[in-house]
Structure 1
Amino acid sequence: MSLQYKIVPVTPFQQNCSIVWCDETHQAAIIDPGGDIQQLQQVVEELGVNVTQLLLTHGHLDHVGGTAPLAQILNVPIIGPQRDDEFWLQGLPRQSEMFGFPLTEPFAPTQWLNDGDIVKVGNQTLQVFHTPGHTPGHVIFYSADAQVAFVGDVLFKGGIGRTDFPQGDHPTLVNSIKTKLWPLGNEVTFVPGHGPLSTFGHERVTNPFVADEMPLY
């Protein structure tokens, strides 16, 4: 019994939307359905899983653009992010204009998330960590069982999230990575919002933005 996942890049920004499911119950969640919802529905059908919720790491358009219509089609709740990203969700029409996306209406999630919350996917558990910096209400989802974390735009292979958007903050982001992600363990694989997967251990050694300080001898 374990958590399974499939990554489906969506939107012109090639955002890593993740379909995660419990292989015992076949219950599933979709993390960050940013768009291309017909493609997502097709993959869900191919996997033979039953989506029971949509999970959001943060309020940026390329991560949430397909959420409201997909929630309506599937008749499922929208869970997350943390409430400090409400202004991003309310500002979706402006984001659509800025990035040349089709008009995306504002929406509110069914439930906001907080640090320490738990999300159940079938018999599997995802731990929620509040990781501000890229956006103030950003959260990540971590499966201790599968040793995998879905980190949105907090951390990338060789990079970290942008902090030049409204209410972004570089020192806050670095602190989130070092105090929330690193303690989960070097072996943990993470699925970033864009680009290839990596492990926390690899980034601690090689990532120029957050690599551990090398000891002086």
Structure 2
Amino acid sequence: MTDTTPQPVSPPKAEPPMRAAILPVTPLQQNCSLLWCTQTMRGALIDPGGDLDRLKESVAKAGVTLEKILITHGHIDHCGEAALLAQELDLPIEGPQEADRFWISRLADDGRKYGIAGTCFEPDRWLQDGDTVTLGALTLDVIHCPGHTPGHVVFYHAPSQFAVVGDVLFKGSIGRTDFPMGNHQDLLDAITRKLWPLGDDVTFIPGHGPVSTFGQERRTNPFVGDAAMAG
């Protein structure tokens, strides 16, 4: 479990309002994220695609009470076992945007293809651009970022300058768009028009691999960095 706690803004030594940890799951090493409110110790798992026993152990070790499950998009490694966890712990599922119904409907088939358990589900709440979700006393903004999948969403906590971006953006790369219903231009537009304006200091957890910042990616990313987009 990797702690990716945002640094407090003010005062310097205060407990940050939110903490985050990365919990890689499935053979595809997808970054499931545990986010929680430090005031209430209530939180959510984002993209619990598999390895549920290990996820539950990590949540218990952190002393967090889960309120809900959040989903960035409908790919098997991100939500294949979300329905099982929701049923076992009696948790609501929020997200993704409804255009990913296509992907969620084929989770069982995709699970057999990738050797990962997959169970179809209907979220308790489909999310739209501009919506918010709550975790304890925290409020996260929902940003619809299509391209990798049509219904992909990003979760952003403005006070912490912190985002969970799923497979939209990675350190040094961007999400694939060669899957059914992917769109490369939509992905570029989502990153440059919706994520970059949030500021260079935003730290993000990607769907795979290490954390980075929007500023770092604007400087160095060969696909959506400022130099690449200027060309």
Q: Which of 78, 81, 85 is equivalent to 2:100?
A: 85
Q: Quote the sequence identity (%).
A: 55
Q: Which of 17, 25, 28 is equivalent to 1:10?
A: 25
How many residues get paired? Answer: 215
Q: Which of 90, 97, 106 is equivalent to 1:75?
A: 90
* Distance in 2 (alpha carbons) for counterparts of 1:175 and 1:78: 27
Partner SS for 2:160: coil
Partner SS for 1:5: strand
Are the equivalent residues in 2 in contact too, given 1:3–1:145 (CA < 8 A)? no
Superposition map of 1:3-152 within 5 A: 3-102=18-117, 104-152=118-166
Q: Which amino acid aligns with 1:50?
A: T
**What is the aligned partner in structure 1 of residue 178 from structure 2?**
164
**Structure 1 residue runs of 4 or more that deviate by more than 6 Å after TM superposition:** none
CA deviations 1:145-203 (Å, max 9, x no partner) are: 11110000000000000000000010110000001100110000010000000000000
Q: Which amino acid aligns with 1:197?
A: V
Gapped regions of structure 1 (runs ≥ 5): none
**What is the aligned partner in structure 2 of residue 179 from structure 1?**
193
* Distance in 2 (alpha carbons) for counterparts of 1:160 and 1:107: 27
Are the equivalent residues in 1 in contact too, given 2:50–2:116 (CA < 8 A)? no
TM (normalized to structure 2)? 0.91
TM-fit CA distance, 1:214: 7.6
Alpha-carbon spacing, 1:215–1:177, altered in 2? closer, same or farther (3 Å): closer
Alpha-carbon spacing, 1:212–1:94, altered in 2? closer, same or farther (3 Å): same
TM-fit CA distance, 1:213: 3.4
Alpha-carbon spacing, 1:25–1:98, altered in 2? closer, same or farther (3 Å): same
Partner SS for 1:73: helix
Q: Which amino acid aligns with 1:148?
A: F
Partner SS for 1:44: helix
Gapped regions of structure 2 (runs ≥ 5): 1-15
* Distance in 1 (alpha carbons) for counterparts of 2:187 and 2:25: 25
Superposition map of 1:193-204 within 5 A: 193-204=207-218
Q: Which amino acid aligns with 1:208?
A: P
